């Protein structure tokens, strides 16, 4: 499972790096176009918006995989290690439900509904292709949820074994 996570991390990190680089190029082109030609063109503006959406959603999935998302841990410090792990598993299950229903299932529905619509500024891109970032980000986030639950459950099991061996000794 760790090897799969490393591959997912690499895919997302590489995608984010490429998108960030292309986004810089597109926005720079817009600035140059406005400054020198008094027109930046709708193509580069729309492409920048699309790349930004993909960058944010894939970056959020990567951050979620690294457990870098926002967390309020004020009450967690007062709990025992066992209760903290149980609480983390419950939180991960709630996040899994949200990510599955909103990003994955809702994203697939949005893609299916808009795949026939073309983008006004870039006719070769369909709106559904833009929305494809939702279920893709959702799929990575679902994987990371399962990964985090699996690791927390392993830690909880190991903690239980350590406590039972201390009682026997």
Which tens digit of pLDDT belongs to each residue from 39-88? 777 788 899 999 999 999 999 999 988 888 777 777 777 888 888 899 88
Range(s) of the domain holding residue 34? 2-162
Confirm whether 167 is domain-assigned: no
Three-class secondary structure of residue 118 per DSSP: strand
Q: Domain count of the chain?
A: 1
Residue whose pair of structure tokens reads 């993909």 in the numeric block: 54
118, β-bridge pairs: 126
How is residue 164 written in tokens? Answer: 């039972």
**CA–CA separation, 169 and 165 (whole Å):** 6
Confirm whether 169 is domain-assigned: no
Predicted TM-score (pTM) of the model is 0.86
Confirm whether 138 is domain-assigned: yes
CA nearest 84: which of 75, 96, 72? 75
Residue whose pair of structure tokens reads 């063109």 in the numeric block: 41
Which tens digit of pLDDT belongs to each residue from 80-105? 888 889 988 998 999 999 999 999 99
**CA–CA separation, 87 and 111 (whole Å):** 34
């Amino acid at each position: 499972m760790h090897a799969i996570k490393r591959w997912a991390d690499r895919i997302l990190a590489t995608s984010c790096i490429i998108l960030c680089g292309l986004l810089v190029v597109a926005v720079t082109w817009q600035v140059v176009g406005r400054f020198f030609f008094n027109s930046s063109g709708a193509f580069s503006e729309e492409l920048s918006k699309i790349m930004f959406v993909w960058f944010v959603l894939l970056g959020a999935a990567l951050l979620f995989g690294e457990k870098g998302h926002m967390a309020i841990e004020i009450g967690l410090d007062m709990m025992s290690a066992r209760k903290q792990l149980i609480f983390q598993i419950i939180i991960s299950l709630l996040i899994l439900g949200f990510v599955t229903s909103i990003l994955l299932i809702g994203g697939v529905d949005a893609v299916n509904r808009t795949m026939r619509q073309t983008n006004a500024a870039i006719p070769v891109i369909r709106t559904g292709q833009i929305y494809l970032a939702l279920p893709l980000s959702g799929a990575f986030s679902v994987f990371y949820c399962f990964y985090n639950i699996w690791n927390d459950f392993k830690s909880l099991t190991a903690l239980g074994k350590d406590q039972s061996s201390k009682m026997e000794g």
